[in-house]
Amino acid sequence: MQKIESVMRAVKYIDEHYTEELDFKKVASKFYISPYYFHRIFSSIVGMTVTEYIKERRLYEAGIYLSTTNKSIIDICYECGFRSSQSFTRTFKNFFQMSPSRYRKLGDIPVFISVNNRISQFKKNIEGGINVEPRIIECGDLIIAGVTGNGSETHKLWEEFETLISKIDIKNKKTEDCYEIRFYGENINQCHIGYEVSSIDNTDRYSFMELPASKYAAFEIYVSKGYDSSNEAIDKWLEDNKNKYIEILAKDGSNYAIEFYDDRFKGEDEESIVELWIPIKEIS
């Protein structure tokens, strides 16, 4: 995938320049990638933000120096890209759960997970068409203006929606992002497709769906790989994390999920992504 190659080039650059002043915007600019897009693809593939990766890269290098050289802690601090000894000591202790001086006495050499291993794991995660490590997001109240119908006839609903918006514009829509909301259960299979709007108006040609504010597990689905494996993967994630999160049901007791289509959706293109949001509640 093109985005994996972009991330590999970026990581190589970080590994060669981690002692310098770096942030995700500077790294993105080196490869002519928008900072927003770069931040998203880097986090999804590497499993951490660019800033976190730079910090870990510096800390692991510092750990190696502490265990294998007689360099002073101050020298190691600056050689590994930190700008003050206080910042270095605090960051090191938070990460390794001990001070640099104590770490040196232990003589342990930290094992850094290579980018190749991270990317290999990422590829394994999406073999079935879904990145099984979701983002946890919080979303306010949603009002979706669009069309509602049988969940077994989604294709027809999209055609109806596209025909409708070509004739009647939705003036108070918030963005160009689209939502497909599915309600499913023993006696229900309903789908609502539309745009998020700021309020319900008097346009009688559109139907409106309101959803309360919620926390969601947002899974990335690669459209070209298909949707077939997503249910199994999501069920497994929910089971593996049942001590931390539980799935929330709709008011009528049915399950529901949101498919979120933003600028990452490119039809059947290999890079095309749809996010699938599962409403969850954190167990306190």
Residue 6's pLDDT is: 76
Report the distance separating Cα 162 and Cα 169, nearest Å. Answer: 11
Query: Hey, what amino acid is at 237?
Result: W
| Backbone phi and psi for residue 253, each to the nearest 5 degrees, phi listed first | 90, 0
Report how far apart the first and last C-alpha atoms of the chain are (Å, whole number).
39
Q: Are 173 and 197 in contact (CB under 8 A)?
A: yes
Report the distance separating Cα 261 and Cα 179, nearest Å. Answer: 6
| Backbone phi and psi for residue 97, each to the nearest 5 degrees, phi listed first | 60, 30
Given 3-state DSSP classes, what are the helix, strand and coil percentages for the chain, each rounded to the nearest 5? 45, 25, 30
Residue 9's pLDDT is: 81
Residue 63's pLDDT is: 92
DSSP 204: T
Residue 129's pLDDT is: 57
| pLDDT values of the chain reduced to their tens digit, one per residue, 284 residues | 566 777 778 888 888 888 888 877 788 787 766 776 677 777 767 777 788 888 988 999 999 999 999 999 999 999 999 989 999 999 999 988 899 999 998 887 777 666 666 666 555 555 555 556 788 999 999 999 999 998 888 888 999 999 998 888 887 889 999 999 999 877 788 999 999 999 887 666 889 999 999 999 998 887 766 655 566 677 778 888 889 999 998 888 888 999 999 988 887 776 788 889 999 998 87
The three-state secondary structure class of 82 is coil
Region of 45 on the Ramachandran plot (φ > 0 left; ψ -120 to 50 alpha; else beta) = alpha
Strands 207-211 and 173-185, by their bridges, are: unpaired
Residue 185's pLDDT is: 75
Q: Are 195 and 178 in contact (CB under 8 A)?
A: yes
DSSP letters spanning 94-124: HHHSS-HHHHHHHT----PPPHHHHHHHHHH
Q: Which domains does the chain have, with CATH numbers?
A: 2-115 (1.10.10.60), 132-282 (3.20.80.10)
The residues with which 179 forms a beta bridge, in sequence order, are 194, 260
**H-helix or E-strand spanning residue 152:** none
**Angle (CA) 134 178 47, round 5°:** 20
pTM of the model as a whole: 0.57
Residue 219's pLDDT is: 87
Residue 127's pLDDT is: 52
